[in-house]
A and B are shown apart, each in its own frame.
Chain A
Amino acid sequence: MRGNSDSSEDMNVSLDGAQAADIKQWTEENSQTTLQRTYMNNLVMNYLVTEGFKEAAEKFAVEAGVTAPMDLSLMDERIRIRSAIQAGSIQEAMRMVTTLHPEILDDNSELYFHLQQLVLLELIREGRVEEAVIYAQEHLAERGASDPNVRQQLERTLALLAFPQPLSSPFADLLHPSHRQKVASELNAAILKAENFEETSPLLSELLKLLLWAQQKLLDVDVTFPVMTDLVSATLALPALPSANNK
């Protein structure tokens, strides 16, 4: 019943008539499925707004004639919070969130933990070991005791303290900027949700994920088709002829 049991789905799929001929044909078809610009613009606007590019969103509204899906002034706080997190000012960001939408951290215990974990990570990054330990004991120990998932994360985090060079430890991923960014996105989504915005992650991202997923699905059942091997340049290649790049 669950929709995602991949293996069963892929059974018995034969390929009659399903073989996409070649890149040329595919590309031709691709260009014929041109989307109306309005829709593309909406996608882009959605991206700008959800990701907090306020100025660009404003300009885009004028330049492309796309109506912003929300009051753009609402974006300010969200942007500030997000950049605070990306800059490592986690506690500052948490204060702002609490002012803006007090319920968010209460309602999203996982998000709350991730933020606290980030605080801890920043302390570790800065080598403030004692403070880090104290913070962990005061804020996180209790939850770690009750929630095995939290405990595991906490252990991973504190393990960083054991390494003289945390950045070269097995847990260095936690200190990577992308970890901040991930939490920032999570928080961003929570704020958007609290503000009743319909999408909490950019549709563009979903569309491209759909693309990746669909390609994989098709490859899994051995359908031959021009595979997109690079999104930024929109490069297509037939799997059989790996280097036959064709724009």
Chain B
Amino acid sequence: MAEGGGSTSGSTFGVFPYPNDPLPLKTLYPFVNEDETPIPRCWSSKDRYNHIGLSQNNLRVHYKGPGKSHKDAASVRATHPIPAACGLYYFEVKVISKGRDGYMGIGLSIQGLSMNRLPGWDKNSYGYHGDDGHSFCSSGNGLPYGPTFTTGDTVGCGVNLVDRTCFYTLNGVLLGTAFRDLPKDLYPTVGLQTPGEVVDANFGASGPFLYDLRPKLEEVRASVHRTIIEHPLSLPGGEPCDQVKWTDILNKMVTSYLVHYGYCSTAEAFARASTTDFTEEVASIRNRQRINKLIMCGNIGGAIALVEELYPKLLNDNPNLLFRLKVRQFIEILRGTEQQSHVSDTNGATNGFSAPPSMEDPAPCLTPDKVLKHTSVIQSTRTALQQSGISRSSKGTPMQAPSELELNARNSSSTFGGADSNNSDGNRSSRSPPLPIVFSSSDHGRPEAITVPDEESSDTEMDCLDEPMPVTDDRPAGDLNGVSNGVDQHPNDEDMLVDDDEPEVPQTNGTCSVPSPKSQGGSCGSTNWPRGSHVETVLAFGRELQAISEKLRRTHGKNKANKRMLQDAFSLLAYNEPCLSPLGWQLETAQREPVCQALNSAILESQNLPARPSLEVCASHAQQLVNLMSRSGLGASAFTQITSLLHHSPKPYQIQRCSVMTETFPQVVGLQAPSTDLGEPRRRSKRSLTGDRFDNSLPEPLPPRVSSVISTTSHVASSSTTSSLPSTSVSSSSNNNNNNNALQAASSNSFQLLESRISSPIGHLTAEENSAEHLNGNAVVSDEEMVTGGGDNIGDSFTSLRMSHFDGHNYNEDFILKTSSDVVDFASPAAGSRLPTSQDNSLSNSLSGRAGEVLDDAVQFLQSNSGLQLWRAGERPAAQGDLVLPEASAAGALPSSTPSSSTSSTSSSISALDPSSSNVTETNWQTTPRQ
């Protein structure tokens, strides 16, 4: 009977989508925005004739009618029509039993047609029938098309949404085009007619297809690409343009881009070579370049000062911009990039925090002396701290320490590379104080770090990335690579608090290149918590910020964005390892970029120049068009490859960019959403897009932690990462957006969280032998050693205020910040373990004198400014549940876990994988005692 032709011979075993792909539909149809157009996943229990029975998650169809004549035919449609954005859609149906006569039809139909028919018999209905092998195109009469099919055969039906044709496969062999000129919004449809007929469908989520779709995908992609390339070069309404004009357009756009961002010498070289002009004066470009550079290096204070100097009116006219800069400055101070001497030291003006040397020296060429001078206050504080025996690593959080060790083992000599180049940058190119003050410390043991020659050279326009390497340290290859990406790696930031005895994490900023999952802390640099006088600085600045905010509100009315910005920034105070917190994205150096752009645009606008370079507008426009295309039912949108254009990374460096991640693990992108979504105006609007995975991925690299997890443990790890947030909305399977929402919800409620006493691995995790645990363990050991010296210094007190720290012996119970209503606490994601309440010492006991005051200060500050409620240890309501989310250990455990191949429900697979996440939904949790 049936299996003529190719049914058994030569079937290529498809391996696509891959058997263990947790989100195969996302792999197959990356551009589909399932919020708007869900992809069919099963048969509809409503849209079927009575004689159809469904089982096995509505994937199996059996006939239960009398089957006497064609009047007893019955069919069923899938739950949703095929989204055009699929580009190329495909599903397979396996014949489990041909029943009595094997009158089975497999195909497509629009909604609203009678279900008492086989697909293909009616208008806008199409089918391939098993009994005769004919194709039925909206007609009761079929045309000879392929072999007949019967029990054991697998029929595939593919829809090319670019040219609106349909093809079939039989047992993995392509049969050729069956239908053309298909209408839109077709549903996968199957029809049966005689008793005993049973078929199973695979909509892509039930494992790889028998037919390998990839060559077909490639074919369509290539043909779309050809069409695009050959499209006439003409703008609507404009005349066609020839190669010369086209080149001219490109040159102009490139020039204006270069000028816009102040790539001054490039612009000059390019303009010369391409004979393109630009209008803005070089001096003006240079000014902007200097300002941008300061911001990108994290020296916001310096930037503000310079702006005030060069464009006196600008910030006055843009109070919101100034506020935004200030908030960024706060974050920079928090992360230790920007050092404040004392609040009171600097002037009391709005810009009280701008770096003193700039203020003193408006036409500035900073000498190293000044740097040193500026440094000294802080340095002395530090020295004092060190002398008191507390040389606690600024980075010694449990998760980070091992990564440093490991990284340093690899790059042992890399230590001060980043900072050096920053330093030299500061000296050479900027007129304001370079901030990595640490390196000027004489107790530092590396005096050469500060004696960077002042290369006040012709190259003033070059920035920090100039890599002059004035110091003898070898720069490891990885480090150099890291620097290849401009934005992310303006070196510097990290190291203000680095202690001498603690190796510095090599620059891994913002890149995803670090292969080790342990190196999560990399990009956040020294995200440890401020301590000592730094605490005061932070708090004082925070107060000022609050004041500015109130003033702004009074004079300009409420501003949600500002409010949120401030809240997000303040919330960082609440975390022990802020860079791993849901709000940790704020600490990424990449977050300087939007601030920098906003300022740059404001300056340009004030000079009547466009706020954005046309190149960028065009790129976004193209993206918008592609999204609009997929919303408009143009299937070609799936094959435009706009992502690879927009996310282009030159090959040699490809591995390090997250575009690779995006391509390879599309579903992961959802994870980064919260980090990009919250603070920035770039929050994805609802209408913005199909293919929104790309949207999400546009603005930022993955948060480093996430990405490193991804890079090693891939999908499952990240899925469970997601799931470990206290939200139940993760349940919707394989849907990025839901995950986003979950994360977003979680992070926006960050005030609820926080009881994050990170410490040693404990509780339910103790039993698990996993790498994360080892990480913790190591960290704890080293940290305890450091801590034993003296427990009551200011720094430590703040550290524990920061809700965490592995120094469980000293202050186990810290504060618990929570909202009044919600009882969910959760540990800072990285840590994932908690300390026993029973062993808690009262925090204040272990603090003394001034430390206590600072702490009180801090508490007050937090309470008054962020709406947080804080409890002292012991005051904590007893009945509360503690939700502990051992994300890191979950990730660590994952490599050994078997990824669930059935992805119809991601959430279930997640809970299976993550031993702890099953608890996620329980609100009341018993405190797990430490062993």
Kindly identify which residue among B466, B614, B700 contacts A234, using a CB–CB cutoff of 8 Å: B614
B698 CB contacts on chain A under 8 angstroms: 33-36, 39
Q: Is A164 an interface residue (CB 8 A)?
A: no
Tell me whether A60 and B266 are in contact (CB under 8 A).
Answer: yes
Give the Cβ gap from A170 to chain B, nearest Cβ, in Å.
Answer: 16
**Contact across chains for A225 and B628 when beta carbons are under 8 A apart:** yes
State whether the Cβ of B610 lies closer than 8 Å to any Cβ in chain A: yes
A53 surroundings in chain B (CB, below 8 A): 269-270, 273-274
Output the least CB separation between A229 and chain B (Å): 6
Tell me the complex Cα distance, A85–B41, Å: 57
Given A212-B231, A229-B235, A38 contacting B485 (CB threshold 8 A):
yes
Q: Could you mark each residue 197-228 of chain A with 1 if its beta carbon is under 8 Å from any beta carbon of chain B, else 0?
A: 01000111111111111111111010101011
- Complex Cα distance, B593 from A231, in Å, reads 25
Residue A116 lies at the interface, judged by CB distance under 8 Å to chain B: no
Known pairs A17-B631, A39-B646, A62-B462; A1 contacts B620 (CB<8 A): no
CB < 8 Å neighbour of B594 from A34, A64, A218: A34
Q: Which B residues touch A59, using CB under 8 A?
A: 263, 265-266, 268-269
Given the known interface contacts A228-B621, A242-B237, the answer about A44 and B254 at a Cβ–Cβ threshold of 8 Å is yes
Contacting pair B688 A198 (CB below 8 A): no
A221 to chain B: closest residue by CB: B632
Binds A, one of B158-166, B409-417, B709-717: B158-166
Stretch of A4-12, A127-135, A139-147 contacting B (4+ beta carbons < 8 Å)? A4-12
List CB contacts (< 8 Å) of A50-88 with chain B: 51, 53, 55-56, 58-60, 62-70
Q: Is A47 an interface residue (CB 8 A)?
A: yes
- Segment touching A, from B126-134, B205-213, B637-645, B906-914: B637-645
Task: Give the A-binding residues of B (Cβ under 8 A).
Answer: 36, 160, 162-165, 167, 177, 180-181, 183-184, 219-224, 226-229, 231-238, 242-247, 249-250, 252-254, 256-258, 261, 263-266, 268-270, 272-274, 461-466, 481, 483-490, 590, 593-594, 597, 610, 612, 614-626, 628-629, 631-637, 639-640, 642, 645-653, 657, 659, 681-685, 687-688, 695, 698-701
A-B contact pairs, 11 of them (CB 8 A): A9-B163, A30-B621, A35-B698, A36-B487, A38-B488, A46-B648, A65-B464, A202-B250, A210-B228, A214-B622, A214-B640
Instruction: Using A1-B160, A210-B645 as known contacts, say yes or no to A32 and B252 having CB atoms under 8 A apart.
Output: no
CB contact under 8 A between A229 and B266, given known A3-B163, A65-B489, A202-B250: no
The distance from the CB of B261 to the nearest CB of chain A, in whole angstroms, is 7
Chain A residues near B (Cβ < 8 Å): 1-6, 8-15, 17-18, 20, 26, 29-48, 51, 53, 55-56, 58-60, 62-70, 176-178, 181-182, 185, 198, 202-219, 221, 223, 225, 227-234, 236, 239, 242, 247
Q: Among B180, B245, B466, B619, which residue has its beta carbon within 8 angstroms of that of A8? A: B180
Q: Is B650 within 8 A of A42, CB to CB?
A: yes
Q: How far is the CA of A230 from the CA of B184 in the complex (A)?
A: 33
With contacts A211-B621, A217-B636, A233-B614 taken as known, whether A66 is within 8 angstroms of B180 at the C-beta atoms is no
Q: How far is the CA of A14 from the CA of B221 in the complex (A)?
A: 24
CA A239 – CA B698 in complex, angstroms? Answer: 28
- State whether A218 touches B243 (Cβ < 8 A): no
Chain A residues with CB under 8 Å of B648's CB are 39, 42-43, 46, 203
How distant is B233 from chain A, measured CB to nearest CB, in Å? 7
Contact of B263 among A58, A60, A231 (CB under 8 A): A60
Interface pair A212/B177, CB less than 8 Å apart: no
Give the chain A neighbours of B272 by CB distance below 8 A. Answer: 55
**B681 to chain A: which residues have CB within 8 Å?**
31-32
The 7 closest A-B pairs by CB, nearest first: A3-B223, A69-B650, A65-B486, A65-B465, A67-B484, A234-B614, A214-B625
CA distance in complex: A198, B629 (Å) = 28
Q: What 20 new A-B contacts, CB under 8 Å, besides A33-B620, A36-B487? A: A12-B184, A18-B628, A20-B628, A30-B624, A33-B624, A34-B594, A36-B701, A41-B487, A46-B650, A59-B268, A69-B650, A198-B650, A209-B228, A209-B229, A218-B628, A218-B634, A231-B614, A231-B618, A232-B256, A239-B236
Contacts of B222 in A (CB 8 A): 3
Q: Is the CB of B700 within 8 A of A36?
A: yes
Q: How far is the CA of A211 from the CA of B261 in the complex (A)?
A: 23
Q: A29-B687, A33-B688 are in contact. Are A44 and B621 (CB under 8 A)?
A: no
Contacts of B635 in A (CB 8 A): 9
B682 touches A234 (CB 8 A): no
> Measured between alpha carbons, how far is A217 from B138 in the docked complex, in Å?
28
Contacting residue for A41 out of B238, B486, B610, B631, CB 8 A? B486
Name which residue of chain A comes closest to B644, CB basis: A203
Complex contact A32–B223 (CB within 8 A):
no
Cα(A26)–Cα(B689), bound, Å: 12
Q: Is the CB of A29 within 8 A of B685?
A: yes
> Most chain-B Cβ atoms within 10 A of its Cβ — which of A66, A229, A239?
A66
**A229 to B617 CA separation, bound complex (whole angstroms):** 13
Query: What residue in chain A is nearest B183 (Cβ atoms)?
Result: A12
Closest to B593 in A: A37
Contact assessment for A247 and B610 in the assembled complex, using a CB-CB cutoff below 8 Å: yes
Shortest Cβ distance from residue A220 to the other chain B in the assembled complex, whole angstroms? 9
Partner of B160 from A3, A35, A212, A221 at Cβ < 8 Å: A3
Residues A227 and B243 in contact, CB atoms below 8 Å apart: no
Contact B223 A2 (CB under 8 A): yes
Give bound CA distance, A60 to B268, whole Å.
11
Chain A residues, Cβ within 8 Å of B614: 231-234
CA of A205 to CA of B111, assembled, Å: 42
Q: Are A34 and B634 in contact (CB under 8 A)?
A: no
A112 to B232, CA, bound (A): 25
Separation of A43 and B238 alpha carbons in the complex (Å)? 25
